[in-house]
Structure 1
Amino acid sequence: MKRYYLRLLLLFTTVSVLISCEDYLDVSPDLGIDVNEVFTDYFSTRGAVDRASRLIHNYVYNQTDWSSEIGAMSDECQMSQERFPTHNTLNAGVWMDSGAREIGGMRYINQGTEFDGSDFNSEPVAKAFLAIRAVNSVLDNIDLLKEYPTELGYTPQQLKDQLVGQSYFLRAFHYFQIIRRYGGFPIMNKVYSTSYNFDEERPTYLESTDALIEDCDKAIDLLPEVWNDQNEGRATKTSARALKAMALLYAASPLMNPDLNPYGSNSKTYNISYAEKAAVAAAEAINSYSLGGYSMYSMDNYTENWLSRTPGFPKEAIIVAPFSRHSDPVGGIIGEGWVLPQFAGGWFAESPPTHNAVEWFETALGYDVNDPEAVTNGGFDPNNPYANRDPRLKQLIFTHGDDMFEGLPNPSGQNQRVLDASSNPVGWHYNFDVSKNKMFTGYYHKGKHRWLGCDRWNRIGGYYRSMPHIRVAQLYLDYAEAVNEAYGPNGTAPGSSLTAIEAINVVRNRANMPNVLSKYSASKEEFRKRIYNERAVELFHEQHRWHDLRRWKLAKEVLGQGNIYAADIKTINGQTVYGKKIIEGAIRVFEDKHYWYPFPQEVMDIMSKFEQNPGW
């Protein structure tokens, strides 16, 4: 019993009592380090806060992150090889005690560090425990702080408020990473001692969210609206407002409200009270984001959100993981294996876009491609299906006939340059993947995480890479969804004159797309479909789709076996015929129990009050 108790204690406390960027903080106080030696000094205290910031998961940092590609757990991408955990564990539904990647955070809380390449099993939840411990140590000891620098341009009180505000924000952010996956979780608002009794009743998801929102509100009060140049990228009032809006939208969602949507039922009712709160929070974030120096890129500079030749944080990124740069003149493709085709230097573990994802992109006139009117009135040509589409399609995905190396020296083999996804007669790219026993979708990634020249021939490096967790466009998407549920398509949130429809149009117009068609916004239910689709398009390949399908309670029906498609392109009598086909072997086992991640059995064995998630 004692052995299991210590494992549970490790879950909450991790191995160190004081966590910081400084090595001397990564030790137990039993080794002789006094908190007064640490928290009386501003820079060592800030080191603990910065550690928690660096523990924000960066999905595009290193070569281990291919298997954290949760887009391949949804209908967004397809893991091309069967031998990797995304396919044989996560998509197979074999989650309990597997410790595999995205669902392994409860079992790997002490694996490696955040940036040295040894964090193979350090997933967002694992890092969340480390980060929360760090900021709780700061909050518990902040009154010990006495030694303040004079060269930073802030008063001692401002410096103290900044540390406390960042701590509340980071605790809320990392706690959100836990509850969005596991559901209601004990409120982690203290540094736990070895004598603490963890066998307590679980709070509900809404109770956990309420505690998170309290931290967001404290952060909003204390954080600056904008930082000076030396502190670019730190959390601001807008960061906290955006997190608050996102957390409240999740709390309003069907999955998080079992009283309205019982386990195993097909009901998908929103919590209107929390939708109203989310709408107000999103409106406040929208009204203030420009004060923090944030703005939306034009479509010409759209990919600056993820790839840039210049250092610094994307101006659209409100919450963003730390930067990385891959400038190796020999390879220049480290960390790109999960988006780069194997023939171009990527790995077996690539996860290219599905045909499901391609169908999300409307016609240039704003018609859903599956709407019969798309052909008659919407400019959709089934014989040339990739033309006259939402500009984001060509910006983000290579489709049949695209020159994948435009403007660059030819790669080895002319037939590798233009994507040939045809299967009859067999195209080069189709044949390559099939010969490698890979599941071919007919598409390759482009734009967000892969730059032109990132390949084994041209080897162009030197890009700063980013993975925003929340950016300005999402504020409008969150607002639109919350307002639609609370007040309808033409409703507005208190304190805002922006309707749900107008909010969606802000995102669409930036992409040079027309306003959403009136036929798609005639009712709350009809407009909800368009909101969901707009999120899928605008947030494509940003690790949102999987969690969105779960919180909407749509994952079971969307990810049912046989629902993952590839392009089906054939030449018949000299004419190219376009269609789609189910990807053989592309499993997605998703039952009701998979809506929440399971707690390890070794933890549940010793808990009498704490409840396991349903079905596990």
Structure 2
Amino acid sequence: MKNKIIVFIALGLIALVPMSSCSDYLDKEPDDQLTLESVFENKNNMERWLAYIYSLVPKFYTYDGADAVADELAPSVGWESQGFKAIFYQNGNWTANNEGVISYWTTFPKAIRSAYTFIKYAHAIADVSEKEVNYMKAECRFLIAQFHAMMVMTYGAIPIIREAAEETTGESLLLKQEPFYTVVDWAANEMLEASKELPPFYDDDNKYGRITSLTCLAIRARLLTFAASDLVNGNQDTDMKNMKNCDGTPIFNSEHDPNRWKQAVEANKLVIDEAEKSGHKLHIEYLSNGEDIDPFLSYQNALMLRRNQGNLEIIYPRTYDDAGYFDRQANPRSMGGAGAIGVTQSLVDAFFMRNGLVPITGYTNDGGTPIKNEASGYSEDGYSTADESFNTRWMYGTAKGDAAKDQNVIVPANTYKMYCGREPRFYISVLYNEEYHWGKKKATNFFNGGEDGGPSHDSPCAGYLIRKRVDPSAIPTESSGNYKNRQGCLYRLAEAYLSYAESLNEYSIDMGTYDSNKKEILKYINKIRERAGIPQYSESTEAGKITAPTDPKEMRQLIRRERRVEMNCEAGLRFDDLRRWKEAETALDGKFWGMNMLAKKEDRDSYYKRTVYQTRKFISYWWPIPQDEMDVNINLRQMPGWWK
């Protein structure tokens, strides 16, 4: 083989999967160049090639990608002056000429072509069996399909790269965009076929993080759920209806197809059935009696623990990530953190109450005044007068927290009532002002002039820091923590449960079969709520439970809220959810509220006042194709909303 490759694509990268050392890699040829034959005659080289492809799978512990442009994470708005791209996007200061917050268009094709090259040239050698090579090739086949899936969900109209081009220039690279569902169906089929070649899990801990058959089925189900949703399934938006590729072929279908929801139902149920058959389950930890669920530790450790630590919920782990760096950005300034990765008031409002009811049903006054659900007991009037305890061994609520006890005070007296009586997932996810922090050994102080507050661009602009995904025991100044080496989580079983419930509900709306499917829908929502430690839904009036809606469109809203709470701040899911539900133009445009960060401690009541901290501008449901790519490839057509 006369072709040469520059080995920088495989060198200098930290493998995302356990691969062998390759210290002698550069000894093979001078000038840092190797023939393809020599690369795939060496185990270390082969593994590093695969590791490079894995390295382009987006990280979990980020705050500048899809997570940051939804309505959950609130990175410091002051970072705009430092060139933080997500804030530019939030504010609508964005064109196709900008360097992307999401850069799939420029990064994924490289990985796709590298994966095709691996499939073409990798073969069994002395220390790599044919079985292992076939696993690697199936992983590459899946990753090719996953990268296409992420691109089509992001850009809408993309080409399909079906092979690794030998040329680096010329007409062979001027691919044309294909119809949305052509890409979706192709990628979904590739994932399904790859799943047939891979095991559901690996017994070898050193292979934890490698693609499995369940990974393939999970991302396939996510793609088909997106493809069934309002954004693309019968969208009547004029610009999308009129969009065509360079051949004049329409990109999007304008007619709603109920079969798309049927495919999503079947795909999500397949994930559930195959995962549970292989031993996957929601991560649940119990109190000392071994019977009662500890909802705090269960929800926290569903992300924190690995498979060999007893967590069987994660289906797609990312074993090497930037968890420690994320901890530093999210922890209060007084303990060595940046104190700059917060969450929005709308996320705070979304969590249920301890009794399982919705606290806020809507807003008046342009979003600034909540409409309270009086039955829930929610209040924003004053401060609590008594400690609030939960049945949990989670020790981080107060200075007296004790992991050996089955009951701990989580909300001490004199806490602002907005934060009292909320469900366990709230306390695992949100760090609010004057809440006790284990690393500080005292309460947070986000007041203006406080050690954790402003004036500084590195302070929580909305009045909160994110707690979810953050090691609760981390102390940045000491580089300490109990979960320093935790994995990222790109898919877990809870998502399959919620996606299945949503898909079945939507298909029931299409087919008029809600009454016959309600029990099945509630089964999987209730699995999530049971683990969360809040009352479940019942088909009829039942003591200790909440009566489920008789209207499937009301059920739709409950499912969406449950999904927002359970999956909050994970893997950019919220951004795609808002888009596919066609809610982004409302949720991501206009005033964003938080607490009043200008208030000083001596004016405590003024701090707990809903205050606008940012006004955002929504531009388009689709990410722009980079203008540089448009200039190079005359066959491309720009997405709606980015023509200006």
Both proteins in one fold, TM over 0.5: yes
Work out the CA distance in 2 between the residues paired with 1:516 and 1:566. 32
Q: Is the 8 A contact 1:361 1:368 kept in 2?
A: yes
1:386 matched to 2:419: yes
* Preserved CA contact (<8 Å) 2:306 2:487: no
The answer to whether the 8 A contact 2:208-2:319 is kept is no
Partner residue, 2:179: 204
Specify the alignment match of 1:278 in structure 2.
Answer: 264
AA in 2 matched with 1:588: R
Residue 537 of structure 1 and its aligned partner are, at CA, apart by 0.8
Q: CA deviation at 1:255?
A: 2.1
CA apart distance, 1:454: 2.5
- Summarize the alignment of residues 455-470 of structure 1 with structure 2, pairs less than 5 Å apart: 455-456=476-477, 459-460=480-481, 463-470=484-491
Map 1:463-612; keep pairs closer than 5 Å: 463-488=484-509, 499-516=520-537, 521-542=549-570, 543-566=572-595, 580-584=609-613, 586-591=614-619, 594-612=620-638
Give the match's secondary structure for 1:67. coil
Deviations 1:269-327 (A, max 9, x none): 9752221111101101101113444322123243223335997795321112123587x
Q: Which residue of 2 aligns with 1:53?
A: 54
Given that residues 355 and 580 in structure 1 are in contact (C-alpha distance below 8 angstroms), is that contact kept between their aligned partners in structure 2?
no
Aligned counterpart in structure 1 of residue 444 of structure 2, from 413, 419, 422? 419
Once the 2 structures are TM-superposed, how far is the Cα of residue 511 of structure 1 from its aligned partner? 0.7
Structure-2 residue corresponding to 1:428: 450
Counterpart secondary structure, 1:189:
coil
- What is the rounded CA distance, in whole Å, between the counterparts of 2:595 and 2:85 in structure 1? 18
Q: Which residue of 1 aligns with 2:91?
A: 92
Letter in 1 for 2:327: E
Q: 1:47 to 1:419 in 2, by over 3 A?
A: closer
Do 2:329 and 2:337's aligned partners in 1 also have CA atoms closer than 8 Å?
A: yes
1:236 aligns with 2:204: no
Counterpart code for 1:163: M
Rounded to whole Å, the distance in 2 between the matches of 1:28 and 1:208 is: 40
Q: Distance in 2 between matches of 1:583 and 1:92?
A: 14
Tell me, in whole angstroms, the C-alpha distance in 2 between the residues paired with 1:609 and 1:78.
Answer: 38
**1:336 correspondence with 2:332:** no
8 Å contact kept, 1:560–1:588: yes
Match of 1:72 in 2: 68
> 2: CA distance between counterparts of 1:309 and 1:186?
37
Aligned equivalents of 1:274, 1:206: Cα separation in 2: 10
Give secondary structure in 2 for the equivalent of 1:102: coil
- Judge conservation of contact 1:253–1:552 (CA < 8 Å) in 2: yes
The structural deviation recorded for 1:520 is: 5.7
Q: SS at the partner of 1:595?
A: coil
Which one-letter code corresponds to 2:276 in the other structure?
S
Aligned equivalents of 1:157 and 1:500: distance in 2? 43
2:299 to 283, 299, 302: 302
Please give the alpha-carbon distance, in whole angstroms, between the structure 2 residues aligned to 1:446 and 1:527: 29
Q: How far apart in 2 are the matches of 1:519 and 1:316?
A: 28
SS in 1 for 2:477: coil
Among 254, 257, 266, the alignment partner of 2:230 is 254
Residue 283 of structure 1 aligns to which amino acid in structure 2? K
Would the aligned equivalents of 1:409 and 1:458 in 2 still touch at CA under 8 Å? no
Counterparts of 2:5 and 2:64, CA distance in 1? 24
**How many residue pairs end up in the alignment?**
549
Distance 1:362 1:32, change over 3 A: closer
Aligned to 1:131: 111
Contact 1:567 1:581 in 2 (8 A): yes
Q: 1:439 to 1:37 in 2, by over 3 A?
A: closer
Partner of 1:322: 319
The aligned residue for residue 119 of structure 1 is none
Deviates more, 1:188-197 or 1:211-220: 188-197
Q: Secondary structure at the match of 1:254?
A: coil
How far apart are the structure 2 equivalents of 1:554 and 1:268?
Answer: 19
Offset at residue 512 of structure 1 (A): 0.9
Code of the aligned partner of 2:329? W
- Partners in 2 of 1:43 and 1:381 — Cα distance? 60
Secondary structure at the aligned position of 1:338 is classed as helix
- Contact 1:18 1:27 (C-alpha < 8 Å) held by counterparts: no
Residues 200 and 214 in structure 2, CA contact (< 8 A), matched pair in contact too: yes
Shift of 1:472: 0.9
- Displacement of 1:248 after TM fit? 0.3
2: CA distance between counterparts of 1:532 and 1:170?
29
Q: Root-mean-square deviation (CA), in Å?
A: 4.0
Helix, strand or coil at the partner of 1:78: strand
Aligned partners of 2:63 and 2:73 also within 8 Å: no
Q: Structure 1 pair 516/335, CA: closer, same or farther in 2 (3 Å)?
A: same
2:37 corresponds in structure 1 to 36
In structure 2, C-alpha distance between the alignment counterparts of 1:46 and 1:570, rounded to whole Å: 55
1:225 deviates by 2.4
**Shift in Å, 1:510:** 0.9
SS at match of 2:267: helix
- Using the alignment, how far apart are the partners of 1:149 and 1:258 within structure 2? 52
C-alpha contact (below 8 Å) 1:562/1:583 kept by paired residues: yes
Residues in 2 aligned to 1:497 and 1:524: alpha-carbon distance in whole angstroms: 9
What TM-score does the superposition give when structure 2 sets the normalisation length?
0.75
Quickly say closer, same or farther: Cα 1:147–1:439, change in 2 above 3 A.
closer
Cα 1:400/1:220, change in 2 over 3 Å = same
Structure 2 unmatched runs, 5+: 16-21, 242-252, 285-294, 363-370, 382-416, 539-545
Q: 2:596, 2:606 within 8 Å by CA — same for their partners in 1?
A: no
SS at match of 1:481: helix
Specify which of 340, 346, 355 is matched with residue 356 of structure 1: 346
Shift of the alpha carbon at 1:606? Answer: 4.1
Aligned residue number for residue 404 of structure 1 = 437
Q: Deviations over 1:135-155 (max 9, x none)?
A: 11122234xx242538xxxxx
After TM superposition, the score normalised by the length of structure 1 is 0.78
Query: Within 5 Å, which residues of 2 pair with 1:433-444?
Result: 433-434=454-455, 440-444=461-465
Q: In structure 2, the residue corresponding to 1:562 is in which secondary structure?
A: strand
> What residue in structure 1 maps to residue 101 of structure 2?
102
- Matched residues in 1 for 2:558 and 2:255: separation? 17
The alpha-carbon distance between structure 1 residues 492 and 294, as it changes in their structure 2 partners (threshold 3 A), is farther
Asked if the contact 1:354/1:565 (under 8 Å) is kept, the reply is: yes
What SS does structure 1 have at the residue aligned with 2:110?
helix
2-side partners of 1:310 and 1:98: how far apart? 43
Percent identical across equivalent pairs?
21
User: Residue 280 of structure 1 contacts residue 493 of structure 1 at CA under 8 Å; is this kept in 2?
Assistant: no
Contact persistence 1:483–1:493 (CA under 8 A): no
Displacement after TM superposition at 1:183 (Å): 1.6
The alpha carbon displacement at 1:439 in A equals 6.0
Deviation of 1:231 after TM superposition, in Å, equals 2.1
Measured in 2, the distance between the counterparts of 1:603 and 1:204 equals 19
Residue in 2 that maps onto 1:147: 125
* 8 Å CA contact retained: 2:5, 2:35: no
Change (3 A) 1:498 1:575: same
Letter of the structure 2 residue corresponding to residue 382 of structure 1? E
Q: Deviations over 1:164-202 (max 9, x none)?
A: 221111112222222222123111221112244333431
